[in-house]
Structure 1
């Protein structure tokens, strides 16, 4: 998907995102923020969107959020200001394919429902690996394509609508598993109806 299509799609979705996609993806958001809060440290949230996850990070966590969409970021900044979210260090407009951070900067990188949206997800995963500290973890929450069955058929049929939907319905998990230095340590299914996947990848030292 081209970056212009992503930008236009999320410009359309920004006003209603929280009550539509945001509601459907709540389980993964809670799983990721709880994982970070239990351990503490600095987390980069790639594709922070409207900031739905930001209030869920607890004490001992410092959050940096990035997003390509100015419309989404405007809503996230408003949320931070209105809710007084002291755990949020910074929100920046940025292309996830070229993260403007030094190597080994973060304890965690969370990418929730973003990898099937961005162009060149393999390149994004390489950047995620680069900015993670040794022993740090990439926390992935995403919908991945079913290999077979009715769901797989529906996903393949919806694939030509990706520019309208704003995400790849037939996105294979293999596209996030090949980044050098990242090893899968955990995988689980998430609601609704096990359509979402929780994935933890650890940076080897």
Structure 2
């Protein structure tokens, strides 16, 4: 159980945080998150279905990694991050990317069952309500499709536990919850298909869920 109240995030605080991060995000976070990102996209590429939604596409670091037969749409709440992603798509001529749209992941404009796969990389701990994010991703993915999440999940004990909980009150400034837990994302009755640690050991985890029929 948490020993402190969680600092509330809202859409505007997230926008403001990533307005600051947009210009330096790739340099600051791109390297440490690279292997986990590659692992997530490799998992997407192995799955059946071509219609892929990347939720929280950010600066588009993952976009060049998708297989040529995938058709990818990306959404993000940050206009500044999307501007960087669009430049990447144009510079690398990524024809597999069908569109990048400014959109709230907790209230998507897509119709039900619009995608075969939805993937959120380093996004679940950013949104104000991860349970709503999960519900929306389930809605827009067809029955039998797949939901994937790569994220940092808080430690249960030790030095990292202490650091994460010490940083938690700074959530609004950072733009994410350092004390984010897997139970903050998945419903209690949800059983993932797989939970895999990613390098660096313990820092990121890949979670895969099969969408219920």
TM-score (norm: length of structure 1): 0.96
Q: 1:62 aligns with which of 71, 77, 80?
A: 71
1:193 CA drift (Å)? 2.8
Aligned-partner Cα distance in 2 for 1:80–1:165: 27
Partner of residue 33, structure 1: 41
Partner of residue 31, structure 2: 23
Decide whether aligned partners of structure 1 residues 183 and 137 sit closer, same or farther in structure 2, where only a CA change above 3 A counts.
farther
Partner of residue 96, structure 2: 87
1:38 CA drift (Å)? 2.3
Aligned-partner Cα distance in 1 for 2:138–2:50: 17
Decide whether aligned partners of structure 1 residues 179 and 105 sit closer, same or farther in structure 2, where only a CA change above 3 A counts.
farther
Does residue 125 (structure 1) correspond to residue 134 (structure 2)? The answer is yes
Partner of residue 120, structure 2: 111
* Deviations, residues 80-108 of structure 1 (Å, cap 9, x unaligned): 11110000011100000111111111111
Does residue 14 (structure 1) correspond to residue 22 (structure 2)? The answer is yes
Q: 1:76 aligns with which of 80, 85, 88?
A: 85
1:4 CA drift (Å)? 1.2
Aligned-partner Cα distance in 2 for 1:173–1:183: 12
Aligned-partner Cα distance in 2 for 1:117–1:69: 12
Q: Which stretch of the first structure deviates more once superposed, 30-39 or 135-144?
A: 30-39
Q: How does 1:181-196 map to 2 (within 5 A)?
A: 183-196=191-204
**Structure 1 residue ranges (4+ consecutive) displaced by more than 3 angstroms after TM superposition:** none
Which structure is higher in RCO with an 8 Å CA cutoff and minimum separation 6? Answer: 2
Q: CA RMSD in A?
A: 1.3
Partner of residue 6, structure 2: none
1:187 CA drift (Å)? 0.4
SS of the residue corresponding to residue 167 of structure 2 reads helix
1:179 CA drift (Å)? 8.0
Aligned-partner Cα distance in 1 for 2:52–2:178: 27
Partner of residue 161, structure 1: 170
Q: Structure 2 unaligned runs (5+)?
A: 1-8
